[in-house]
Amino acid sequence: MIKFTIDGFEVEGEEGQNVLQVALDNGFDIPHLCFHEALESYGACRLCLVEITQGKKTSLTTSCNYPVLAGISVRTDTEKVTRARRMVIELMLARCPDVTAIRELAEKYSVGTPRFSLDNDDCILCGLCERVCREVVGVEAISFLGRGSGRKVGPPLEINPKTCIACGACVYVCPTNCIKIEENEKERTIVRWSRTLPLKTCKVCNRTFAPWFQLEYFKNITEGIPKDFWEKCPDCR
């Protein structure tokens, strides 16, 4: 176990963990929007900044991708941290003034009306959607496109990702809820990527349950599952 301190308290972490994980496990409240336990840390949103003293050096750094090391001293509440955090929230709020998660952060950390012109965006480019699609689902249907102030997330040519199986993982992890999913008896659509897939009908109960394309994908990457399995909905299996 690796021992270090957060805000003066002694905590323990395991090799391979990052500071944010240990902090959250121990009840420290560090804001974060682009971090997810099941995915690689990325460090894009800059909300999880803390001051870390290692040896003689103290630096302001993101905690989600800083490895736990013996003897480091982490501070989550210094003046520098607070000032940086509030400005990051202000920048996000100016970008996405209608996003609930950001408005809640603004209220919590007393960030008022942004001093910049308000955009009308709903995406903070945290990358969770493209990471879950690539690392967990494995179809890599979307990615970051462009760079700089024009950067966005989407499928190649910004429409209809051809490998997307409409599983909804991206919808689930998105912190701003900007990826919508719609479904009727015939088809499922991941709205943001303009991806519509027809649904398969269950052999037993005759209701539609999952996209054909998705079932074919899982069928191809799994072994030893009876063919029958794919013809029935989860309720009828």
| Footprint of other proteins (CB under 8 A) | 42-47, 49, 60-62, 65-66, 80, 83-84, 87-88, 91-92, 94-95, 115-117, 124-125, 140-151, 155-157, 161-163
Residue showing tokens 């480019």: 125
Q: Which is nearer to other proteins, 6 or 88 (CB)?
A: 88
Q: Where in the chain does DSSP place strands (E)? A: 2-6, 9-13, 49-54, 57-62, 73-75, 143-145, 152-154, 181-183, 187-190, 195-201, 208-211
Q: Which is nearer to other proteins, 161 or 211 (CB)?
A: 161
Q: How far is the CB of 87 from other proteins (least distance, A)?
A: 4
Spatial separation of the C-alpha atoms in residues 54 and 164, rounded to whole Å: 44
Q: How far is the CB of 30 from other proteins (least distance, A)?
A: 14
Q: Which is nearer to other proteins, 11 or 89 (CB)?
A: 89
Q: Answer yes or no: are the C-beta atoms of 210 and 161 closer than 8 Å.
A: no
What angle, 0 to 180 degrees and rounded to 10, lies between the N-to-C axes of helices 79-95 and 100-108?
150
Q: How far is the CB of 60 from other proteins (least distance, A)?
A: 5
Q: Which is nearer to other proteins, 86 or 232 (CB)?
A: 86
195-201: strand order across its sheet = 181-183, 187-190, 195-201, 208-211
Q: How far is the CB of 197 from other proteins (least distance, A)?
A: 17
Q: Which is nearer to other proteins, 29 or 79 (CB)?
A: 79
Q: How far is the CB of 18 from other proteins (least distance, A)?
A: 11
